[in-house]
A and B are shown apart, each in its own frame.
Chain A
Amino acid sequence: MKMMMGSSFPEEVLEHVFSFIERDKDRNAISTVCQSWYEIERWSRRRVFVGNCYAVSPAILIKRFPDVRCLELKGKPHFADFNLVPEGWGAYVAPWIAAASSAYPWLEEIRLKRMVIPDDSLELISKSFKNFKVLVLSSCEGFSTEGLAAIAANCRNLRELDLRESEVEDLNQSSGHWLSHFPDNYTSLVSLNIACLNSEVSFTALERLVGRCPNLRTLRLNRAVPLDRLAILLHRAPQLVELGTGEASDLRPDVLSNLLGAFSRCKELKSLSGFWDVAPGYLTGVYPICPRLTSLNLSYAATIQSSDLIKLVSQCQNLQKLWVLDYIEDLGLEALAASCKDLRELRVFPSEPFGVEPNVLLTEQGLVSVSEGCPKLHSVLYFCRQMSNDALRTIARNRPNMTRFRLCIIEPRTPDYLTLESLDMGFGAIVEHCNDLRRLSLSGLLTDRVFEYIGTYGKKLEMLSVAFAGDSDLGLHHILSGCENLRKLEIRDCPFGDKALLANAAKLETMRSLWMSSCSVSFGACKLLGQKMPMLNVEVIDERGPPDSRPESCPVEKLYIYRTVSGPRLDMPGFVWTKDEDSALGLS
């Protein structure tokens, strides 16, 4: 192949070629070919994903990529979902929105995860970007229905408003009425997810909105929308593909028959969720659409027990994704395995996570059944109370195509219930047989041995979650030295200390982040790491006051280390300590 010098191709041609290249990895690669390709690429990059908002600053981003249309940012570490990150830690999106409002007037999409976004920022978004189309706020907080009202009122071209699992403050004045801020001539809505909203929305406004948006495909309602009104909405939007219902605890025959009628007209419906407090009798209304369903989320439906679940899933031959409570029990999972041969993803959540005794007949057997019966199953999240190495080995052998395996045995350090041994061998089998495993969460009784297996076999592993496991620093060393593709590591309550961390310091620069809480890392080691590794921010999160007031060997509460090109952040709260806190060292 004859090599052409970059300068002999007109820029427009290269730009056109580059427009077919979408994956970040590929674009990063072509940007390193030569200077002119770097320049053309950076001017033409439209989609940017920042996995850690503190890894780079808005200024740096804008300087390199002057014309971004789709921005995705992630903020707090994953363990923030479980209340391990104190309030006020950070992840404020306001500076990003402020910078983008002047630098990216053509911005169309903003996707945020675990970030704090105030109403002011929502208003700024609604007024700064004339072609704004997509707003996805996943597990975000800091805003209220006022901010939503601004989005509704000003974003003429909005296609998607998705509030997944965010915490939204309902202000009494505009509660429910923010929806009416969508102007009457606004018709471009394609996707609306308000399932997380606690209070009511104005049904009239909702009905009118749904009625005038012919392209509406996704509608996830919140709990407060009663089932008897759902039929009305479905009549307005028979083209819906994804639906989330509200709650319906009273079974009324007229409502049921209306629902049946409405569902029968929804020929495109493929995904269902919601079902809070649903009287099981209403499930018969869903039967007609079951064969078309590819995605079913019943994980809020605490009123539906095993036999009803079995009847339901047995009719969903095309199901690909199922999220369900452990009421499904082993029997239900057997039925799932028998009926749903296209299943790709299964999540089983605990109905009584804090009970000490099991309240349902769900054991490792259910998961084994599904692993046997569903050849395409590759993504699992499973909460249970007992597990065995045998079961894990069987699952591993059945499903070498597993890519995401998250197992949570509810009681920490639970051994193999058959042999009373650790579960090292079982998880070892998982990493050994599942060569494409990208994400793994461990639980149960585990020694350093399991980490040796993970380090040896987990070559494609990108994210690892560890809790109450291991015996010594050797465990951490195995992970850091063995897992070549590791990007995110989160650890809690493990006896890992300074040594493995310091010995593998350089590894940390190749990862997005490391979280360690209730381990044995000393503040001295953190300071050392921070001083020696300028490309890392080493944040000690400790609410007990200055680490200096305790001996240097005293373990820190929590530790969050991440690579960054923008240096220490300027918005750290009082309980975050870095190397610069020590007056003797000062700023390095």
Chain B
Amino acid sequence: MELQLGLALPSNPTSKAFDLNYYGIEANSKEVDHVIGPCYTPSYENINDIINIDNNNNNKRSFGQAFENSTRDRVVPRTLPLLLWNNNRPNEEDDPKDLENHSLFAANKNVGDGDGVVGWPPIKSWRKRLCHENQVVRAWNNNLMVENGYVCGGRRASNSMYVKVKMEGVVIARKVDLSQHHSFETLTDTLMDMFRKSCEKNSNNYKLIYQDREGDWLFAQDVPWRTFIRSVQRLKLLKSSG
């Protein structure tokens, strides 16, 4: 139900009962340069000028060295979960403004969210907040056995609260179940144990930071546990310089 104010009608760009320019509609009548390509027609012939395409319609379809990855129906191994897959260089900073991050598409190159993918899965922010709150409340209710807690009928959904943890300098990230912890002490102990093989033994050499719901990175020790647990999205252990 769109307003079509003198714009080219989709099916027949040339037929008009009268010149809409006469009525003061700002239609621009400049010709489209043919360098771009003629008005769209659904055929391959137009694109041939620009892309070298094999028009035989057989199974092999390669065009240009730039597109040698073109494949069809190949059997692929099961994709690794995106959240763990880390194609970045080991010491890559999670700085969204880093200009070196501009290479060609790759799922993990979305900036602004650390190692996560911005805007995926496609659910609205307020729904995401709701999900997160519910996760936390469920984890709490399990651990603290709140007296007046609500009664859940039926099969319970999982109560764990796994978040991703990355240690600076270590390529492989880990996951930790935050619902098992109630203080930073136990959490850092567990984390250091997790990364035992990859790092220095002394936990004092690492600072724990977390990303909150707004996407900001904060020092975990700066906030009370309660605040932390309600908004943490992921964790990082940074080497603290002396």
Task: List residues of chain A with CB under 8 Å of any chain B CB.
Answer: 23-25, 28, 32-35, 38, 48-51, 55-56, 60, 63-64, 79, 81-84, 139, 165, 196, 249-251, 276-277, 279-281, 299-300, 302-308, 327, 349-357, 359-360, 383, 408, 410-415, 419-422, 424, 441, 445, 447-449, 455, 465, 467-468, 471-474, 477, 480-482, 484-485, 487, 492-495, 499-500, 502-507, 509-510, 512, 518-520, 528-529, 532-535, 543-545, 550, 554-555, 557, 563, 565-567
Instruction: Give the CA-CA distance A474 to B11 in the complex, in Å.
Output: 23
Q: Say yes or no: A83 contacts B121, CB within 8 Å.
A: no
Partner of B121, one of A350, A473, A494, A534: A350
Number of B interface residues in the complex (CB < 8 A):
94
Quote the shortest CB–CB distance from A528 to chain B (angstroms): 8
Q: Do the beta carbons of A353 and B131 come within 8 Å of each other?
A: yes
Shortest distance from the beta carbon of A142 to any chain B beta carbon, whole Å: 16
B10 at interface by CB-CB < 8 Å: yes
Do A32 and B105 have beta carbons less than 8 Å apart?
no
Q: Check B154–A306 contact: CB distance below 8 A.
A: yes
Residue pair A354, B157 in contact (C-beta under 8 Å): no
Question: When the two chains form their complex, are residues B135 and A353 in contact, meaning their CB atoms are under 8 A apart?
Answer: no
Residues of B within 8 A of A81 (CB): 122, 124-125
Instruction: Check B79 against A32 for contact (C-beta < 8 Å).
Output: no
Nearest neighbor of A34 in chain B, beta-carbon distance: B17
B75 touching A420 by the CB < 8 A rule? yes
1/0 contact string of B36-76 vs chain A (CB within 8 Å): 11111111001100110100000001010001011111111
Residues of the A chain whose Cβ atoms lie less than 8 Å from the Cβ of B41: 481
- The answer to whether A503 and B6 touch (CB under 8 A), given A356-B84, A412-B120, is no
- B224 adjacent to chain A (CB < 8 Å): no
Task: Identify whether the interface residues of A are mostly helix, strand, loop, or mixed.
Answer: loop
Q: Which residue of B lies closest to A223 (CB)?
A: B130
Smallest CB gap from A422: residue in B: B73
Query: Which chain A residue has the least Cβ–Cβ distance from B124?
Result: A81
B162–A355 contact, CB under 8 A? yes
B6 & A445 in contact (Cβ 8 Å cutoff): no
Q: Smallest CB-CB separation from A444: which chain B residue?
A: B79
Q: Is the interface of B mostly helix, strand, loop or mixed?
A: loop
Partner among B123, B152, B162 whose Cβ is within 8 Å of the Cβ of A82: B123
Of B30, B35, B125, the residue contacting A534 (CB under 8 A) is: B30
Q: How many A-B residue pairs have CB under 8 A?
A: 282
- Which of chain B's residues has its CB closest to A357's CB? B158
Of the A-B pairs whose beta carbons lie under 8 Å apart in the complex, a sample of 7, sorted by A's number, is A35-B18, A356-B162, A413-B79, A481-B42, A487-B2, A510-B40, A544-B97
CA distance A279 to B149 in the complex (A): 9
Cβ-closest chain B residue relative to A48: B3
Chain A residue at smallest Cβ distance from B175: A356
Count chain A CB atoms within 10 A of each CB in B3, B5, B128 and give the residue with the most: B3
For A352, give its contact among B51, B67, B72, B131 (CB under 8 Å).
Answer: B131
Alpha-carbon gap, A280 to B151, bound state (A): 7
* Nearest-CB residue, chain B, relative to A306: B154
List the A residue with the shortest CB-CB distance to B33: A532
B99–A544 CB distance below 8 A: yes
Q: Does B16 count as interface, using CB distance less than 8 angstroms? A: yes
Q: Which of A300, A303, A383, A445 is close to B79, meaning CB atoms less than 8 Å apart?
A: A445
B75: contacting residue among A308, A421, A510, A529, CB under 8 A: A421
Q: State A448–B104 Cα separation when bound (angstroms).
A: 18
Given A419-B75, A518-B110, 15 other A-B residues pairs in contact with their CB atoms under 8 A: A24-B1, A24-B2, A34-B18, A302-B134, A356-B84, A356-B162, A359-B158, A413-B107, A422-B72, A422-B74, A499-B51, A506-B38, A518-B105, A532-B36, A555-B102
Among B77, B83, B102, the one with the most A-chain Cβ atoms within 10 Å of its Cβ is: B102
Contacts A350-B121, A471-B71, A494-B105 hold; do A499 and B50 have CB atoms under 8 A apart? Answer: yes
Q: Chain A's nearest CB lies how many Å from the CB of B101?
A: 8
Are B148 and A250 touching (Cβ within 8 A)? Answer: yes
A50 / chain B contacts, CB cutoff of 8 Å? 3
Interface flags, B201-217, vs A, CB<8A=1, else 0 = 00000000000000000
User: A residues within 8 A CB of B69?
Assistant: 471-472, 495
Let me know if A543 and B157 touch, CB within 8 A: no
Chain A residues with CB under 8 A of B61? 474
Q: Is the CB of B154 within 8 A of A411?
A: no
Known: A64-B25, A471-B67, A567-B26. A352 touches B158 (CB 8 A): yes
C-alpha spacing A424/B110, complex, angstroms = 25
Q: Is B242 an interface residue (CB 8 A)?
A: no
> Are A60 and B81 touching (Cβ within 8 A)?
no
Which residues of chain A have C-beta atoms less than 8 A from B1's C-beta? Answer: 23-25, 49
Q: Contacts A83-B125, A510-B8: A60 and B39 contacting too (C-beta < 8 A)?
A: no
Q: What A residues does B131 contact at CB under 8 A?
A: 302, 350-354
B89 at the interface (CB under 8 A from A): no
B28 within 8 Å of A (CB atoms): yes
Query: Which residues of the other chain, A, contact B25 by a CB distance below 8 angstroms?
Result: 60, 64, 565
Task: Evaluate contact between A510 and B105: CB separation under 8 angstroms.
Answer: no
CA distance A503 to B39 in the complex (A): 9
Q: Which residues of B contact A520 (CB under 8 A)?
A: 104-105
Contact indicator A534/B28 (Cβ below 8 Å) = yes
**B69 (CB) vs chain A CBs: closest residue:** A471
Q: Which B residue's beta carbon lies closest to that of A486?
A: B10
Q: Which residues of A contact B175 (CB under 8 A)?
A: 356
Give A481 to B41 CA distance when docked, in angstroms.
6
Q: Which of B50, B102, B127 touches A544 (beta carbons < 8 Å)? A: B102
Task: Decide: A349 and B123 in contact? CB cutoff 8 A.
Answer: yes
- A32 and B82 CA atoms in complex are apart in Å by 53
User: Assuming A359-B157, A495-B104, A502-B36, is B119 touching A563 (CB within 8 A)?
Assistant: no
The 4 closest A-B pairs by CB, nearest first: A82-B119, A307-B154, A305-B154, A302-B134
- A87–B96 Cα distance when bound, in Å, is 15
Q: Within the complex, what minimum Cβ distance (angstroms) separates A255 from chain B?
A: 14
Chain A residue at smallest Cβ distance from B77: A420
B194 interface residue per 8 A CB criterion: no
Instruction: Report B-chain residues with C-beta under 8 Å of the C-beta of A413.
Output: 79, 82, 107
Choice from B2, B40, B79 contacting A506 with Cβ under 8 Å: B40
Partner of A279, one of B6, B123, B128, B151: B151
Known: A49-B1, A422-B73, A471-B67. A38 touches B156 (CB 8 A): no
Q: B233 contacts which chain A residues (CB < 8 A)?
A: 354
CB atoms of B153 and A420 under 8 A apart: no
A24 to B3, CA, bound (A): 7
Pair A555/B107 contact, Cβ less than 8 Å: no
C-alpha spacing A251/B11, complex, angstroms: 60
**Min CB distance, A515 to chain B, in Å?**
12
